[in-house]
Each structure stands twice: as structure tokens, then as C-alpha cells.
Structure 1
Amino acid sequence: MAVSVEGRPQLKKDKGKKVDHNPKPAFEIIVLGSGGGPLETDCSGYLVKPAQKSWEDGLLALEGGSGLGALTSLLTTIPPTTLFPDITFPPGYNSPIFQAAYVFSFLTCYLITHAHLDHVQSLIMLSGSIPTRATVHPQPPLPTSSDHPAVPSRPCPPIFGTRSTLEKLALAYGGQIWPEIAVWAPEKVDQDPKEGARKRRRKGKVNGDDDEEGSVEDPSHWEFPREARHSACLSFAPLRPHTNYQPLHPELPFSVSTYPLVHGLTSRGHYDSSAMFIQCRPSGEAPKRPERNPSPTISTNANGNGNGNGLANRTEDKDTGRQLLFFGDLESSFRKPGEEEVDAMRKDLAGEMNRTIWTQAAKSWKEGKLAGIFIECSYESSRPAGLMYGHLSPPSLWHEMQTLATIVSPTERRPLEGLKVYITHIKDNLTPHPSGRTAREIIMSELWELEKQGRLGVEFIETKRGDRIVI
């Protein structure tokens, strides 16, 4: 299993503005899974921390398709000192599963782009068993009373994502597919719990009045049973799209700006995904919180009402620090000749949404803030538009890079010189290709050839499970 430490992007000057050509790395990323299926052993999952901090200071789980099991598998073939050179494991943590659990004990929060299973299956399986930071096996305490039994102290990390994404994910926690062990963080810290409960009893649309998916019961309106609130293992913390950078968690110097994406079609309309600019504060310190108890745990009041910490409701005033642009699954406005009318309405919507993101990315790139882009490329170029299912192929990804390049500079040669683009979500073939090459080999060679001919300056990098990336 190859492990790579990627270098730093070579940034360029913009109209006399000084741009650091050799910035300090801002992000350290362990790739637990980068595939797009159908193999459940290689789904989207990344562990992220500030490059200048240790894993013990807290980590972000970016997507939740691959997780604890994937890391356990990786540690059977890759020495832990290679993946985590700055971690000293406690005595007795000498097996892959114990070492993986120790790493996951520093899990601070999840950040999810959309709710498809290849992006959340590990998250669901791990909820209820998230390791504590104890180095010895904890003993359950004795109950203090029948009404309020004492429970072991356990982490209760928030899951950040758009409200639409979290409402879809919440369907798994309704008691039928998985136990009811998740609660919603309030969107306003000062919200009256009784008034909020009255509002949540109504039925409405998943994504607001203009949602295209039709009216369904919103899982965030459910009244979770009292037992679930006592044993809550996760909290749903909605992010607001198109807002300024929103801090994620008091233990991490990360904030995020979220943008919607189009990802295929369902019987209820287009399926929404999201792209996220993840920003690391230059100081490496998390933003300070005004609330008295910034812990992400779920508290229970005398009436049994679960209350979260409302972490997703504050925004930073300034856009500072290095940024990583991470795309969930998406489709493009690109169509090959003869396929222009395939999903024409969704094509136009995708083009509009994607351009909004590229406009922000161009600004970040010209200011020297954009450390890299993670973006999917699921299928090879020969796949017809009608069978893309809301994904990208090399020609459509190249179209998106051209859009970015045009916004950066419509006249400059190689306007994206040094931009690192990490390719994710490649779907493995289940039958041999006539050329004898794998899907990854075909897709990467097609992208490299497009760059060779188009000369935008992009460096396409295949992202593989087991990679350690520092940018």
C-alpha cells in the first residue's frame, strides 16, 4: 500500500500582490478510502488535522464511508509510525484494531457532503461505539436513581452538513435501520425549547418551501424518546450554505463555507450534494466561543429535552488562513457532441452552481490561500451522459478546470500553474477492460493527456487509500 506525502503548491503572483510561493503546510490528511464503490472496502473517508498540530489535539472525519474498519485494515500492512509518525500509542495498544481505536478516540466531529451510503456507512456503524479517550477499559458506573441512571462518559461528536443532508442521514436513526442514538443540535442557542418543540411537530418539506423533492416528514421534527437522549452518541449540526466561514468545533482551528451541488435525479427531483471550503486558521488555534460550556456533548434537562451546543450557528468575520476545497459527488454542465439535450435542465443548474464555487476558488487561488482541490472523477470518458448518474468523467472534469482557469485569467497561459487536484471517487470495474488497464489507470491517463494538450498547469494526483497527504 503506497503512502505519499504530497508537496506544497507553487503559487503565482497576481498584479503585484505578494504571494507566498512556499507556504507552510496547513492540512495533514490520512486517506481511509477514496473510491466510489462498488467495493465497500474503499469508500469516501478522510481523517484531517491541522499540519502544525498533533492528532491527539483532535481530528476531523471528512466523510464517513470508510472509517474504523478501513484504518484497522490499513494498519495490518502499513506501520503506524508511517501513517501517524507523531503518535505514541499507550502500552497494550499493539494490535491494528486497538491502534485504530486509539486514533478514532480523538475524533472531534464529522463533516459530510451528502448522505449516500458510500459517504456515511462507517459513520452509522461506528455510532454507538465511538472510542473514549481512556487508555484502560472503562467500567460502567452504578445507577444513581431509576429516573436518571448514570451513564459512562462518552464522546458525542457533532455531524456537520447541510440541513438537507442531515435530514436524509437522520432517517437511518429512526429505530428501524439503526438505533435512535442521535439528536439535533438547536439552530439557535437561545431558542425556547418548548417553542422549538411546537415548531418541530409540523410536517414540511425537507429543504424548505422551494425544495424540489416534495413534501415528506422532516426527521428533524421527530420527538426522540427520552432513552435516546440519555444515550445520544451523535448530534446533527446543520450548516447554512452560502454563508461566511462557520467554525466547526472549539477543539479545531477549522471553519467551513458550504455550497450546494447537483448530484443526479431522484423521483422527488434533483439530489443535492455539497462542496466545502475548509479553512485552517493561521494560528492553529480554534476560535474562541462565548458560551460557558462549549463541549459538543448532549445535555438533558429536567424535562428530558435534548439540547446540543449549536456550534454551526456562528460565523467568522474574516476569511483568513489556508483553504482546502473538497467536493462531494457532483455533475457538470458538460455534454459531448450529440448529448447536449441529455438532462438539459439539470445541466444548466449544475453549470450555475459549479460556477459559483469556481468563482470563490479563483479568488482563493489568486490570493494564495487555496492549498488544493479534492474532486471526484467516477467514470472514464467513453461513458454516455445518460449513464453518468450525477458524476464526472475526465472530459467533464476538464471542463470544470477550464471554467476555473477562465475565471482566474481569460488570457494568461497556464493560469493554474502548480494547482494540485486530488482525484477521488473512481469506481472500480468489475469486468476486465479490453485494454487490460484498471479504471484508475484509464481515468488518470485521460486526465494527464487532457492537461498535456490543454496546458492549464494543473497537477492531477490519484488519491489512494493509505495515502498520507500534507499540503
Structure 2
Amino acid sequence: MSTKGETSGTMAEKPAFQVIVLGPTGGPREDSVTGILVRSTSTKWSSNSVIAVDAGTLLAGIIRLLERYIPECRDDQGMMTSGPFQGLELPCSTAQANAAHVFREIIGAVLITHPHLDHISGLAINTPILEAGNGPKPVAALPSVLSALKNHMFNDVIWPNLSDEDGGAGLLTYQRLVEGGNPRFGRGDSRGYVRACNGLLTKCLSVSHGRCKQRYHPESGTHHRVGSTVFSDHQLMLPSRAISVDHTDGSFYSPARSPRMLPSNPKEPVMATVESSAFFLRDHNTGSEIIVFGDVEPDSVSMGIHNKRVWEAAAPKIATGKLRAIFIECSYNDSTDDSYLYGHMCPRHLVSELSVLANRVTEVQDSTTGEKKRKREPPVETGSEQVSPRSKRTLSSPADKGRTPESPAEPRSHPNESFETPQIPKADMGDAMGNPDTGTSVDATLPLEGLKVYIIHIKENLTDGPHPSDQILRELQDHGEAAHLGCEFFIPDPLEGIWI
């Protein structure tokens, strides 16, 4: 398994996508937070041929890349001859001016997974340089995400209203995506997909990014936080000033409470799931696809089953070789307890999620070939301690599990009740070794073979020691090998392009 992202020239098959990870981290540095550029290689850098998925880092990342490669990798006609922007003709002299050109002319739309600052700050800061002659830049997302941008970012308080709604400046236009895809568009494998930019189609599925508190709203008589990214039965637009969210007890993104744990007093806060997104991106020319996740937590600690829907949609595409890569976060290493993940992934959980995907791929393959279905299990420790001891502790109550260092223990209503943090079950080594009963070979136990998994949103520790990515990658490789998944894990290099 590889330690760095694949770059130009490493694929035998002609790449359908080029991906540039401008911001591979989840902070705390503000200049490298999440921002990804994607284009179809068939469009050859034409106007509006690139999409940005999230925009925590946007112009700053483009400038950083151009400063590295200009002027050494630029010919007399202004064409970039190498580097991630190879083949792009740049009309200006400086990196700054050319970056503005890329933002205005080449990036056709911005897809936002969820409206946390490390995913939208670049969009807010960069947007004023757009020129009216180009028309408004599309910002595509789920309705709840756009509601949050309208109410809490582009609201003439936190930042000017630069959108073309509610009397704004008209530099941005909101494109509300249908969760799960719009079935009125596309046919066959492309049903539900909508145009993202020249050469690329997209379909968005919602996922969970932890949970937050919602307070009772006296005007509606319900608990909800309007204009936010919270799963809700109501898509009402109410004044944001009427909504109060309690941050004081440290329960933001705490995977502690059951969704059925409603307070006895209806006016007390209740927990709600924070909505994020997974974008399926489809190359219109070849039908190949990749998935780019926003921040996401494992289903095993979530209030609902959301990732499984993504894996159900992805499995047939992997079985047919159409889905080439997944970009997904893994913010912390395995020493992090579940109660401190705050709606994020660590290696043990990510490999467990990928094992769910692998199971589904095996089922799809079996249904196609008519073979006996083989039940795969998620991975486990095989000779070494792969799961953090802190994740194995028995907790006295769900409330204890969600406490942060700043939050006091909540009263225990059932002192004798206990439960275990979700574990990675033991792998079925009979299947892994190709037992005669299964009718399979060792090769058949690698259902994700050929799939590339790129790790983003790693939380930096800003210490003199090794970068956290080193340990995270090592743990992912160990878990993945034990689980016999077959996929490869990569840490993208923000100074290189990835060809898929």
C-alpha cells in the first residue's frame, strides 16, 4: 500500500479525473483546511470545467501551487508544462493574477458538503473578486446547507449577502440539490445526477457529522435549529435570531445520547444530527466516478444509519469497475476515544465502514455470478492491539460517553445500566483463507481491490514530532490488510495533482 497520493503517469488506464487537494487538513492551520478541485480530463481546462468541493482553502491554495510552478514550468505561450495545472494556459504574469483567473473562469461551481468554517471560509473571503460579466458563481448543496449559508454567513452581518437572493449582490447563486439525486434527470446509471460543471455530473447523499443540541422554539412549538445543517422533518425558514444553541456543556458533536433520550421537559434541549454530504462525481465522457465525503462519523456511533446508504449506492459501481476512488476524512488516530471524535473518523472506524462496503460489493458480485453468498465481517485485531484500549472501556451510561473534559457528569437515571463502545468484530478467517465451504479463492476475498481511498481532513497537532498522517496511514494499512479489503490508502500531496 502506498504512502502518498498517485500523481501523473502512474495509471495504466487513461485517467478520467484530475483531483487537486488544495486543503488536506481539518485545522488548526487556516491555510490548508478542506478544499478540493476536480475536473474531467476530457475537458482540457476549458471554461467552467472544474468544480471545487468545499472551499475552506481556495484561492490561497491555488496561489501556493502557482508560485511553486511559475515560471519554471511555463512555456512562452503561457501554458503550464508540468505540475498539477499542466496543460492550463494562464494569461497573466503573476501567481496571484492567474489564481484569480482560475477562480473566475475555470472553476464552474462550488459544491459545499456542510457549512462549517473550515469548509466555507475561502468561499466567503474569495467571492468579492468575482466579476459581474461572468454571471453568478453556482454554489450547490443540500437545502439545509444553503439555508445555513444564507442565515449565518451571507446575511449582511457575518459577511455581506453576495448571493442573488434576498436583495444580495448577485455574485453567487444557490443550487439546491435533491438528497439522493433527482430521478427526473439522467437515464440508467446516470439517473439522479445533475450537471456540476462542464464534463462532470453529481449526485449528493446526506451523511452524519455528529450531533448538536436543539432548543425549544416557542413560535413553532418544536425543537429545531433553523437555517442549520440538522436533519429535520421541517424545512421552514425562520429568523435565525429566534434560535438558540447551547454550547456550554461541551456536547457539540458528542456521539453520546440515543435519539430516543428526550427530556422530560419539552422545552429542554434535545439532540439532533448534524448533516453533511457525500458527493458522487461522474465523468460524463467515460461514466467513471469518484466519491468525495465531507466530514462524517461512523454509523456505529451515529444517531442513524446514513453511511450505509452511500455504500449501497457505491457497491454496484465498484463491482463493475466504474467507481475508481473515494476521498474521505480520517481526522484522528486510533488512540482517540469515541467520545472525543466529535463526528469524525479514525482508522478503526473507517476500515469498519469500508468492510460494510466490501460486504455489499461481495453480495453484488455473487448475485451477478450466481455464486453462493459469502458473509464478510469487519476487521479486528490480529496479533497486535489495533483498537485503542480507551475505546474498549465499559461506560456507566450514554451520558458519560459524550462528556468532554469541560462538561460535568450528568445524573445517572439507571446506575446499573452499562454498554460497550462499538467494537470492530472479529474477521471470518475461514473466508479469508478461502475455505472449501465458501467455494472462493483468496483473491475473491478482496472485493475492494483496485479502489483507491484518499484520506483528507487530518487534524494537525503542530508539534515537533511526526505528522499525524504517518500514524493514521499505518493504522489504516494494518486494519485494511487484516480485513482483506484490497483497497489502497493514500495521503494526498497538496503540491501534486492526482490522476484517477
Between the aligned partners of 2:14 and 2:159, the Cα distance in structure 1 is: 43
1:7–1:88 distance in 2 versus 1, CA, 3 Å: closer
Partner of 1:248: 195
> Deviation digits for residues 373-423 of structure 1, max 9, x if unmatched?
101000000101111000000000010111111111146311111110011
Given that 2:5 and 2:492 are in contact with CA atoms closer than 8 Å, whether structure 1 keeps it comes out as no
**Rounded Cα–Cα distance in structure 1 between residues aligned with 2:35 and 2:296:** 17
From 424, 433, 449, give the equivalent of 1:417.
449
User: Equivalents in 2 of 1:248, 1:178: separation in Å?
Assistant: 28
Give how far 1:453 is off. Answer: 2.5
Q: Deviations over 1:281-320 (max 9, x none)?
A: 126xxxxxxxxxxxxxxxxxxxxxxxxxxxxxxxxxxxxx
**C-alpha distance in structure 2 between counterparts of 1:8 and 1:259, whole Å:** 31
Partner of 1:324: 290
How many percent identity over aligned positions? 31
* Cα deviation, residue 46, structure 1: 1.4
Deviation at 1:8, TM superposition (A): 7.3
Structural RMSD (CA): 2.0
Deviation at 1:4, TM superposition (A): 4.9
Which residue, 213, 223, 230 being the options, matches 1:267? 213
- Structure 2: which amino acid aligns with 1:35? T
Letter in 2 for 1:442: Q
1:70 aligns with one of 56, 61, 69: 61
Equivalent residue number for residue 384 of structure 1: 337
- Residue in structure 1 matched with residue 467 of structure 2 by the alignment: 438
> In structure 2, what is the Cα distance between the partners aligned to 1:180 and 1:400?
39
Mapping 1:33-432, distance limit 5 Å: 33-58=23-48, 59-79=50-70, 81=80, 82-90=83-91, 93-105=92-104, 106-130=106-130, 132=131, 152-170=132-150, 171-184=152-165, 224-225=166-167, 228=168, 231-243=169-181, 244-249=191-196, 252-268=198-214, 269-282=272-285, 321-334=287-300, 346-347=302-303, 349=304, 352-409=305-362, 410=375, 412-432=444-464
Question: How far apart, CA to CA, are the structure 2 residues paired with 1:408 and 1:276?
Answer: 19
Q: Whole-Å Cα distance in 2 between the matches of residues 78 and 441 of structure 1?
A: 27
- The alpha carbon displacement at 1:255 in A equals 1.6
Separation (CA, whole Å) in 2 of partners of 1:3 and 1:450: 19
**Helix, strand or coil for the counterpart of 1:57?**
coil
Q: Provide Cα deviations, 1:335-372, integer angstroms capped at 9, x if missing partner.
A: xxxxxxxx5xx35x1xx211111111111111221021
Q: Distance in 2 between matches of 1:330 and 1:56?
A: 33
Which is worse superposed, 387-396 or 78-87?
78-87
Q: Contact between 2:141 and 2:177, CA under 8 Å: does it hold in 1?
A: yes
CA distance in 1, matches of 2:357, 2:326: 12
> Take 1:448 and 1:6, find their aligned partners in 2: how far apart are those partners?
23
CA contact (8 A) 2:194 2:203 kept: no
- What's the TM-score, normalizing by structure 1? 0.68
**Cα distance per residue 1:102-131 (max 9 Å; x no partner):** 22222211111111111111011111212x
Distance 1:107 1:414 in 2: 37
One-letter amino acid matched to 2:468: A
**Partner Cα distance (1:357, 1:4) in 2:** 24
TM value normalised by structure 2: 0.64
The amino acid that maps onto 1:447 is L
The AA in structure 2 aligned to 1:116 is H
Aligned twin of 2:482: 453
**Structure 1 stretches of 4+ moved >4 Å:** 6-9
- Map Cα deviations across residues 146-203 of structure 1 (whole Å, 9 max, x no partner): xxxxxx524311100000111111121110111122134xxxxxxxxxxxxxxxxxxx
For these two proteins, the number of residue pairs brought into alignment is 339
SS in 1 for 2:125: helix
Deviation of 1:277 (Å): 0.8
Contact 2:205 2:310 (C-alpha < 8 Å) held by counterparts? yes
- Aligned equivalent of 1:205: none
Q: 1:208 maps to what in 2?
A: none
Deviations 1:189-228 (A, max 9, x none): xxxxxxxxxxxxxxxxxxxxxxxxxxxxxxxxxxx23xx3
The Cα shift of 1:3 comes to 8.4
Q: Deviations over 1:74-94 (max 9, x none)?
A: 22223463221112222xx22
1:114/1:6 CA distance change after superposition, 3 Å = farther
Query: Is the CA contact (8 Å cut-off) linking 2:136 and 2:164 kept in structure 1?
Result: no
SS at match of 1:267: strand
Q: Name the aligned partner's letter for residue 278 of structure 1.
A: L
CA distance in 2, matches of 1:404, 1:6: 28
One-letter amino acid of the counterpart of residue 273, structure 1: S
Q: Partners of 2:157 and 2:495 in 1: how far apart?
A: 34
- Measured in 2, the distance between the counterparts of 1:8 and 1:63 equals 27
- Secondary structure (helix, strand or coil) at the match of 1:270 reads strand
Q: What is the CA distance between 1:26 and its match in structure 2?
A: 1.4
Aligned position for 1:5: 7
Quote the residue 2:391 is aligned against: none
* Amino acid in structure 2 at the alignment position of 1:459: E
Correspondence for 1:290: none
